[in-house]
A = this chain, B = another copy of it.
Amino acid sequence: MERHFEIELNGLKERLLWMGSLAERAVHQAIHSVLDGDASLAEVILEEEPAINELQMEIDDRVMQLLALHQLMAADLRFVLAISRINNDLERIGDQAVNIAQSSQRILRHPRVKPYVDLPRMSELAEGMVRDSLNAVVRRDLTLARSILVRDDQVDNLRDQIFRELLSYMMGDSAVVFQAFELILVAKNLERVADHATNIAEDVIYMVEGHDVRHAAADRR
């Protein structure tokens, strides 16, 4: 029984990591679709989203099976419940990639303007947070998990800066209102990607330490 449980749990972890890598790649492609004005990248994301959604349902099923077949001790139970929540966060990261891809498509329908805002850095930060949050899950690495909570504040500061720049851009030239608005939506989506990575990091801390850090600091938006 114990052995069987280990095998099932490893299978579950593997699928979760696969899902994580798909979600992270989708965000990366989506933002590059915006930055490089590449419509084909946006297409790819929309085509690949169903794979992430199917993985989410598969992982939820595996969690159900595992809980139905084994009476778990507290530590394992915490781990399995954490996986169920992380699964949800990864799927939402995929949704954010889709939102960005759709923004990209709308931006491409309009004449090209290129305001300088630091979306590349915001995106790099957010992608790194997703990657490291999954590394933290696998390695049960508390230090790495905590570093993600710190980076979330950096992302929020960057978002505020980007908003300020886009708003003054809009005030200066009403012809760019539409494009600047789309970039605001993109920055909001990246902010949510970072928020989901932070949720995952908090789950790692909960899973390893057995106590809840979700509302320990000021809440994130």
Contact = CB atoms under 8 A, between A and B. Distances in A.
Contact of A215 (B50, B77, B85, B214): B50
A146 interface: no
A59 B35 CA distance: 42
Chain multiplicity (copies): 2
Nearest to A63: B81
Interface stretch (A17-25, A109-117, A169-177): A169-177
A27 B140 CA distance: 36
Contact of A57 (B71, B88, B171, B215): B215
A71 B188 CA distance: 42
B95 A53 contact: no
Interface in A86-117: 88, 95, 98-99, 102
A214 B177 contact: no
By size class, the interface of chain A is 35 or more
Contact of A67 (B67, B163, B167, B212): B67
A201 to B, nearest CB: 16
A2 interface: no
Interface string A184-221: 10001000000000000000000000001011000101
A97 to B, nearest CB: 11
A170 B84 CA distance: 43
Interface string A30-74: 000000000000000000011001101100100110011001111
A50 B74 CA distance: 26
9 contacts: A49-B219, A50-B215, A64-B77, A64-B81, A67-B67, A67-B77, A98-B219, A102-B221, A170-B177
